[in-house]
């Protein structure tokens, strides 16, 4: 019990120390909006900001998808952390001691393993970087980087390294510091079928891959000779997920924020070349196609994305595949296609940064480019238009739930191609079809929490000023709050007040499970009824007076029912006693 209480105290201390605006602002572009901050929600696609952060209440709430909570909730949702992981990360960030005795054995083991994996990767990055800079075995790697005009400051900024042509270099270098099992779990070595381990990266220039908070979570490696594969990434581990990670985001995050634009390139060397030439607002996916998670991460740093892909067919196909993702996430995107014989790295080395910026400036909106590319590919014959419509179906499917955008795109594409809008709809969605008739029926709105008006007003006031709950309870609050949802909120507040004494609004969210009720409360905490500070006490007095009177009225109603029952039972003594109680209530109400 004491340990649980201590963890609650630690949680409260962290919340008091945390700056929720700063923490969320590292991942979401926030702008001042009255006493709150507003931005695009990182948890669902939207173009109009509905994500609010309230610094006074240390809480956030999205009025579009109803996600809400505190600093712990945000880290858990955004980074996919467990509560113990979020607790430890915030304790580390704000330098608050966190005794491990407060965690379960399973949580301690998981956190310990995560620490080991981070530390192992960080040590490997140091070893590989030092070898690249000083070891004779890395001379070919240094020559290769010089040939590609990669300057020393870029090598240092990105901590580039080199893995020599050895099956056990890293194993020996890390021996005594980590077990082979941990080094393998970090993705740095591979276990042999017949026992033992060997280095995963050999004869490769290495690019440490960092999380958004700067920790090394994996590596990308470029082979120096003609071996295969040309590029090799760390496998997915407990700390590394390629579908959520972008190379260069940590190192270039401030440049991306400053420009409010993020350039996406395909290769690691493309990114290094652009950064070296002063174009630092750039990231690169890790040998995988772009994902929704990538774009949601970028949305927290930039308002626009420019795809800067190779001019070959593979680059064009990659750009086309990305269109539905950008539309689904409602992110403005343009595309700059380079000449067929160039990638960003080769063009900038041969023609300079100014020439590359010309291509970026001339980048076309992604949907416009797509239509142009499809027209050039298939032509505008009847057969060509049919194939174009078929190619556009995945894009339209990606935005089918965004009614206005869906209609706008169909109208735009139909004008461009000179065909009726209905041609873009699948047969069973066209006007007159049974499915279209079914889907045109109004759908039920998401279930909302509804509480009788007066009870709702009372609870809203108490959620904003929970320090008055004892006063309200003393004059009959529980006789007024009769709605089941209201009772649940009140019980939660009473429990907190009983355990902690006077409570603050933001403490109400602690330990409340996710669900409609939590969303309802975060909405009230982020956007509470507007009350001037000097009018709070007068409003408290008004509520207390109303509660006393309303409580007495309800007691009188109950007594009248009891009097009727006593009269029917011909119990004159009870009737006189009850009548006397009603007189006392009338006297109290009059006073």
Better-predicted residue by pLDDT, 127 or 339: 127
Q: Give the angle subtended at the CA of 166 by the CAs of 161 and 172, to the nearest 5°.
A: 85
Per-residue pLDDT, 3? 45
Rounded to the nearest integer, the mean pLDDT of the chain is 85
Nearest to 20 by CA among 63, 65, 57, 50: 57
Q: pLDDT at residue 434 above 80?
A: no
Work out the angle between the directed axes of helices 536-568 and 453-464 (0-180°, nearest 10). 140
Q: 169 with 203: CB under 8 angstroms?
A: no
Q: 75 with 86: CB under 8 angstroms?
A: yes
Per-residue pLDDT, 174? 96
The number of residues making up the chain comes to: 591
Better-predicted residue by pLDDT, 314 or 92: 92
Per-residue pLDDT, 210? 96
Q: 493 with 460: CB under 8 angstroms?
A: no
Q: pLDDT at residue 562 above 90?
A: no
Per-residue pLDDT, 38? 93
How many angstroms separate the CA atoms of 294 and 283, rounded? 10
Phi-psi region of 85 (alpha: psi -120 to 50; beta: other; left: phi over 0): alpha
Per-residue pLDDT, 360? 93
Per-residue pLDDT, 427? 54
Q: 300 with 42: CB under 8 angstroms?
A: yes
Nearest to 25 by CA among 77, 57, 56, 60: 60
Most confident of 139-153, 303-317, 429-443, 471-485: 139-153
Q: pLDDT at residue 280 above 90?
A: yes
How many angstroms separate the CA atoms of 279 and 528, rounded? 43
Q: pLDDT at residue 580 above 50?
A: yes
Measured CA to CA in angstroms, residue 549 lies from 486, 534, 542, 554, 582 at distances of 20, 25, 11, 9, 13
User: How far out from the chain centre does Cα 474 lie?
Assistant: 42
* Banded model confidence at residue 446, pLDDT cuts 50, 70, 90: very low
Q: Is the dihedral of CA 566, 572, 573, 578 positive or negative?
A: positive
Better-predicted residue by pLDDT, 312 or 553: 553
pLDDT digits over 31-75, tens only? 998 889 999 999 888 888 999 999 888 899 998 888 898 999 999
Measured CA to CA in angstroms, residue 308 lies from 108, 221, 267, 497 at distances of 44, 22, 10, 56
Give me the residues paired with residue 221 across strands. Answer: 206, 232
Q: In order of start, what are the domains of the chain with their CATH numbers?
A: 2-103 (3.90.580.10), 104-240 (3.90.980.10), 247-364 (3.40.1360.10), 379-432 (no CATH), 453-590 (1.10.860)
Burial 256-271 (b: 16+ CB within 10 A, else e): bbebebbbbbbbbbbb
How many angstroms separate the CA atoms of 28 and 80, rounded? 16
Report, as an integer, the average pLDDT of 508-532.
72
Nearest to 213 by CA among 233, 175, 239: 239
Beta-carbon-side half-sphere exposure of residue 11 (alpha carbons within 13 Å) = 23
Q: pLDDT at residue 519 above 80?
A: no
How many angstroms separate the CA atoms of 102 and 3, rounded? 6
In what side-by-side order are the strands of the sheet with 36-39?
31-33, 36-39, 51-54, 59-62, 68-69
SS3 362: coil
Q: pLDDT at residue 283 above 70?
A: yes
Per-residue pLDDT, 530? 65
Work out the angle between the directed axes of helices 268-276 and 249-259 (0-180°, nearest 10). 50
pLDDT digits over 111-124, tens only? 889 999 999 999 99
pLDDT digits over 180-212, tens only? 999 999 999 999 988 899 999 999 999 999 998
Q: 421 with 410: CB under 8 angstroms?
A: yes
Nearest to 482 by CA among 465, 459, 503: 459
Most confident of 145-159, 321-335, 508-522: 145-159
Per-residue pLDDT, 8? 62
Nearest to 15 by CA among 505, 590, 572: 505
Question: Of the ranges 95-99, 297-301, 478-482, which one carries the lowest mean pLDDT score?
Answer: 95-99
**Is pTM, for the whole model, over 0.85?**
no
């Amino acid at each position: 019990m004491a340990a649980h209480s201590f963890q609650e105290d630690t949680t409260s201390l962290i919340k008091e120390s945390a700056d929720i605006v700063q923490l969320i602002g590292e991942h979401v572009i926030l702008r001042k909006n009255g006493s709150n901050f507003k931005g695009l929600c990182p948890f669902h696609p939207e173009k109009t900001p509905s994500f609010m952060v309230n610094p006074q209440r240390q809480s956030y709430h999205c009025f579009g998808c109803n996600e809400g909570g505190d600093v712990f909730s945000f880290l858990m949702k955004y980074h996919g952390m467990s509560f113990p992981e979020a607790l430890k990360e915030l304790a580390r960030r704000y330098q608050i001691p966190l005794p491990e005795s407060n965690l379960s054995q399973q949580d301690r083991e998981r956190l310990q393993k995560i620490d080991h994996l981070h530390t192992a990767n960080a040590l490997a990055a140091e070893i590989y970087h030092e070898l690249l800079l000083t070891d004779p075995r890395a001379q070919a790697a240094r020559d290769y980087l010089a040939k590609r005009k990669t300057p020393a400051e870029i090598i240092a900024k990105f901590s580039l390294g080199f893995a020599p042509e050895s099956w056990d270099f890293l194993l020996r270098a890390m021996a005594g510091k980590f077990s082979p099992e941990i080094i393998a779990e970090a993705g740095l070595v591979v276990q042999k079928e017949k026992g033992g381990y060997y280095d995963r990266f050999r004869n490769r220039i290495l690019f440490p891959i960092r999380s958004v908070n700067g920790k090394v979570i994996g590596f990308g490696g470029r082979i120096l000779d003609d071996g295969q594969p040309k590029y090799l990434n760390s496998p997915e581990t407990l700390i590394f997920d390629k579908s959520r990670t972008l190379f260069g985001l940590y190192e270039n995050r401030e440049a991306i924020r400053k420009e409010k634009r993020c350039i996406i390139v395909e290769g690691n060397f493309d990114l290094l070349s652009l950064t070296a030439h002063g174009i630092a607002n750039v990231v690169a996916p890790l040998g995988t196609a772009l994902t929704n998670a990538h774009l949601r991460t970028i949305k927290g740093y930039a308002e626009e994305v420019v795809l800067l892909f190779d001019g070959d067919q593979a680059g064009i196909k990659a750009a086309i595949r990305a269109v539905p993702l950008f539309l689904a996430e409602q992110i403005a995107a343009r595309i700059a296609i380079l000449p067929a014989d160039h990638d960003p790295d080769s063009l900038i080395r041969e023609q300079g940064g100014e020439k590359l910026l010309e291509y970026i400036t001339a980048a076309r909106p992604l949907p416009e480019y797509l239509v142009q590319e499809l027209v050039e590919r298939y032509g505008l014959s009847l057969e060509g238009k049919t194939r174009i419509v078929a190619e556009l179906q995945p894009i339209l499917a990606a935005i089918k739930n965004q009614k206005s955008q869906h209609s706008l795109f169909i109208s735009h594409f139909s004008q461009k191609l000179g065909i009726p809008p209905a041609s873009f709809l699948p047969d069973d969605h066209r006007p007159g079809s049974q499915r279209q008739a079914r889907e045109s029926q109004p759908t039920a709105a998401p279930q909302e929490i509804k509480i009788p008006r007066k009870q709702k007003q009372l609870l809203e006031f108490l959620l904003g000023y929970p320090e008055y709950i004892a006063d309200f309870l003393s004059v009959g609050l529980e006789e007024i709050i009769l709605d089941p949802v209201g009772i649940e909120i009140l019980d939660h507040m009473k429990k907190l007040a009983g355990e902690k004494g006077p409570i603050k609004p933001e403490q109400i969210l602690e330990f409340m499970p996710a669900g409609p009720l939590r969303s309802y409360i975060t909405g009230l905490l982020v956007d509470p009824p507007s009350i001037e500070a000097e009018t709070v006490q007068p409003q408290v007095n008004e509520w207390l007076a109303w509660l006393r009177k309303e409580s007495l009225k309800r007691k009188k109603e109950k007594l009248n029912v009891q009097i009727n029952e006593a009269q029917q039972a011909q119990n004159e003594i009870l009737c006189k006693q009850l009548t006397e109680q009603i007189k006392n209530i009338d006297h109290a109400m009059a006073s």
